[in-house]
Amino acid sequence: MLYMDTFVRHITLATMSNEITSKIIGLLKQEESFPDWWKSDEITIPFFDNKKLTVTFMDCEPEHDKTFIEEADNALINFLNLTNDNRKSISDLAYKNFMDFLDAVDFDDVDESLRQIKDRNEIWNFIHPSEIYVTRRPYKEQDIYVMIACECDWEKEHGLQLIFRQGKKLTRISDQDGHITEADAYGKPDEEDELLAKF
């Protein structure tokens, strides 16, 4: 009987260590391939017209970063309060990303429908969010950022990412290059990072 109790306790602890709980989005399960990644079930995202997406806490080691979950929850509260009106307020930036890409590549007939956009809010018809990641910036202020990974019709290979510092305000829109800020991507001071400096 003692052996059975010990076995049950061991299994319970093992199960508990494979899950963390967010007060905002509930249970997140540890990813097998990346032990510091924790993934939720799909949740409703008002910013994208209530589309359902999973959320992954990335580079999260609760035993070492005691405040990660609380800070991530605060960032998610901020982000989940953003609506499609907030999305439309950054349409110019999304459209600029598209135009910058077109200016850098050879003309392609496939992009013709995109070139016909009259209302910049239409750019969102060509952006397809796939997942949300919450992570801590490894440099400088080490704040929490919410990143929405998207596919987009003009950049099939590298996609698009929208990054919100503390979930509040867009501080980067770019292809998915593995960096949280323009400052980190290009090795420049935060004050020279246009969107980050406006936070």
Residue-by-residue DSSP string for the chain: -HHHHHHHHHHHHHHHHTEEEETTTEEEEE-SS-TT-EEEPPEEEGGGTTEEE-EEE-S--TTT-TTHHHHHHHHHHHHHT--HHHHHTTHHHHHHHHHHHHHHS---GGGHHHHT--SGGGGGGGEEEEEEEEEE-SSTT--EEEEEEEEETT-TTT-EEEEEETTTEEEEEES--S-SSHHHHHT--GGGSHHHHT-
- Whether 50 and 44 have beta carbons less than 8 Å apart is answered as yes
pLDDT at 9 over 60: no
CA 102 from chain center: how many Å?
Answer: 24
**Separation of alpha carbons 186 and 165, rounded Å:** 18
- Whether 30 and 38 have beta carbons less than 8 Å apart is answered as yes
Q: Which residue has the higher pLDDT, 114 or 54?
A: 54
pLDDT at 5 over 70: no
pLDDT digits (tens, 9 = 90+) for 118-168: 899 999 999 999 999 999 999 899 999 999 999 999 888 899 999 999 999
The band of 111, judged by pLDDT with boundaries at 50, 70 and 90, is low
Residue 110 confidence (pLDDT): 60
To 5 degrees, how large is the angle CA 97–CA 99–CA 103?
120
pTM of the model: 0.87
pLDDT digits (tens, 9 = 90+) for 91-109: 999 999 998 988 887 666 6
Q: Which residue has the higher pLDDT, 3 or 31?
A: 31
Residue 181 confidence (pLDDT): 97
pLDDT at 113 over 80: no
